[in-house]
């Protein structure tokens, strides 16, 4: 069978729709996870940055425990122990893990803001909450934006774990199913190549947008 014939067998409308359905699920899980993780991670970063108190201890405990246990294990725990359905389990597990990673990234951004700005804000009558919300956080998020987006890219790639762990048919899961329909080695590699290209285009586009936003965010 010629190369063109193999390609025509693979690139049918049904096969492409099948893969794009998986891609949509991958992006859905990744987007929800990163939004929730950014919110929760910001809260944990602020709490861990406090000088003392039980909330600082609890935030630190969460971050250290979650960061030092593989995400793959969190997927198993949340799916099997808590009996959550596949898609919610994927979102929850990635949110749990990514929250801890983003908390440390954002905390680094918080520590990078000049202390003189905080002191100047206090002299103008700002409360600690107002200083964090209006002065520190906007600068911190801008400084660590490339790292946050990089974490988003990591989440998109790591969703490929979900099919092998909980049989969730995201992009890689769909491609794995598709491979079972074709016997030729060349066809399998073509599917791998197509899926790799899809991951690359999405992640490269996100990285380029991050660089643009970092340069132009006023």
By percentage, how much of the chain surpasses pLDDT 90?
44
Q: Are 151 and 105 in contact (CB under 8 A)?
A: yes
Confidence check: pLDDT of 218 > 60: no
- Give pLDDT, residue 127: 81
More confident site: 41 or 164: 41
Report the distance separating Cα 27 and Cα 134, nearest Å. Answer: 31
Q: Are 97 and 158 in contact (CB under 8 A)?
A: no
- Give pLDDT, residue 145: 83
Structural domain including 23 reads 3-217
Identify the CATH number of the domain in which residue 83 sits: 1.10.3720.10
Q: Which of 99, 67, 208 is nearest to 150 (CA)?
A: 208
Number of structural domains, the chain?
Answer: 1
- Give pLDDT, residue 95: 96
Q: Residue 99 — pLDDT band, cuts 50, 70, 90?
A: very high
- Give pLDDT, residue 109: 87
- Give pLDDT, residue 121: 77
Q: Report the pLDDT averaged over residues 124-136.
A: 80
Q: Residue 39 — pLDDT band, cuts 50, 70, 90?
A: very high
More confident site: 135 or 1: 135
Q: Are 141 and 110 in contact (CB under 8 A)?
A: no
Give one DSSP letter per residue of 106-139, joined into a string: HHHHHHTS-HHHHHHHHHTT--HHHIIIIIIHHH
- Give 193-205 pLDDT, tens digit per residue: 889 999 999 999 9
Work out the mean pLDDT of the chain and round it to a whole number: 86
């Amino acid at each position: 069978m010629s190369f063109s014939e193999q390609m025509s067998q693979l690139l049918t409308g049904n096969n492409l729709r099948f893969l794009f359905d998986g891609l949509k699920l991958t992006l859905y899980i990744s987007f929800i996870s990163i939004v929730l993780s950014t919110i929760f991670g910001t809260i944990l970063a602020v709490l861990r940055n406090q000088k003392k108190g039980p909330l600082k201890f609890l935030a630190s405990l969460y971050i250290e425990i979650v960061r030092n246990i593989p995400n793959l294990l969190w997927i198993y725990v949340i799916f099997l122990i808590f009996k959550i359905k596949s898609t919610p389990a994927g979102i929850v597990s990635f949110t749990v893990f990514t929250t801890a990673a983003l908390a440390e990234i954002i905390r680094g951004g918080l520590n990078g803001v000049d202390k003189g700005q905080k002191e100047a804000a206090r002299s103008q009558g700002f409360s600690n909450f107002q200083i964090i919300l209006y002065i520190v956080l906007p600068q911190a998020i801008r400084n660590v934006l490339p790292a946050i987006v990089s974490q988003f890219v990591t989440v998109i790639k790591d969703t490929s774990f979900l099919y092998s762990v909980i049989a969730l048919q995201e992009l890689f899961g769909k491609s794995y199913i598709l491979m079972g329909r074709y016997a030729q080695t060349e066809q399998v590699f073509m599917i791998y190549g197509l899926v790799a290209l899809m991951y690359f285009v999405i992640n490269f586009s996100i990285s380029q947008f991050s660089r643009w936003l970092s340069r132009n965010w006023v």
